[in-house]
Amino acid sequence: MGEPAIKIQGPHKSIFKDKVMSMLPEGGNLNACLTCGACSSGCPATGLYNMDPRKFLRMAALGMDDEVMSTEWVWTCTMCMRCIYVCPMKINIPQLVFYTRASWPREKRPRGILGSCDSALKHDTCSAMGTNEEDFMFVVEDVLNEVRENQPGMENLEAPVNKEGAYFFVNQNSREPVTEPDEMVPLWKILNKAGVDWTYGSKGWAAENYCMFEGNDEGWEHIVRVKAKAVEDLGCKVWLNTE
């Protein structure tokens, strides 16, 4: 592949830019941004903190490290990847965002994301609420029994935990068993009505991964490995993450 037709040269050498350039996938060249604005047009974080993906990318390309590394906009990005799909040059802006987050001093990162990551690392449940295995299984059984007793036609409703050989290993948002346990029931009903062979795992049942959103590579990898092992240990064929 030849040199890009357009090269943006900053006023000084940018450590941030050099690091990011090495992380971009083949075919995604930071210097090749066309400033078309496609990335910003569908971004849910556009306009927040007076920033958008195109502006963020241009600042990085121009070597504006201080501005890039200090904008709180990076914490509003949902990592939805929509910007990559519409970018004609396939520039990985979420990768730039992730690296920026990881470069923030930990004490300055958003407390909600930081605390949720720390809580998820406490137990093999990976729950951002810090819920342990015993509490999760108790809530599932308690809610299931209540539905069976009080809702006509639901006497045979199932919400299996640690069912070996189930086809689907299902994750659940970790807030629901703690604060809104009844919100788990509609999913159970859908899966049972469809005749799906599924199970929760007492380990790795939580769906979200706040360590990823924190930019914490080590924590992110740990959580994914715990979940993957839980799926493998039960012999499930498909890992279904509801998030």
* Helices 93-103 and 53-61, packing angle to 10 deg: 70
pLDDT class of 10 with cuts at 50, 70, 90: very low
> Does residue 97 have a pLDDT over 80?
yes
pLDDT class of 28 with cuts at 50, 70, 90: low
Lowest-pLDDT choice from 1-5, 108-112, 114-118: 1-5
Share of the chain above pLDDT 70, in %: 88
DSSP sequence for 16-61: HHHHHHHHSPTT--GGG-----HHHHT-TTTTGGG--HHHHHHHHH
* Helices 53-61 and 15-23, packing angle to 10 deg: 110
The pLDDT mean for the chain works out to 89
Higher pLDDT, 79 or 167: 167
Q: Which residues contact 32 (CB under 8 A, 6 or more apart)?
A: 4, 5, 6, 89, 91
Residue 107's φ and ψ, nearest 5 degrees, are -70, -15
Average pLDDT over residues 105-122: 95
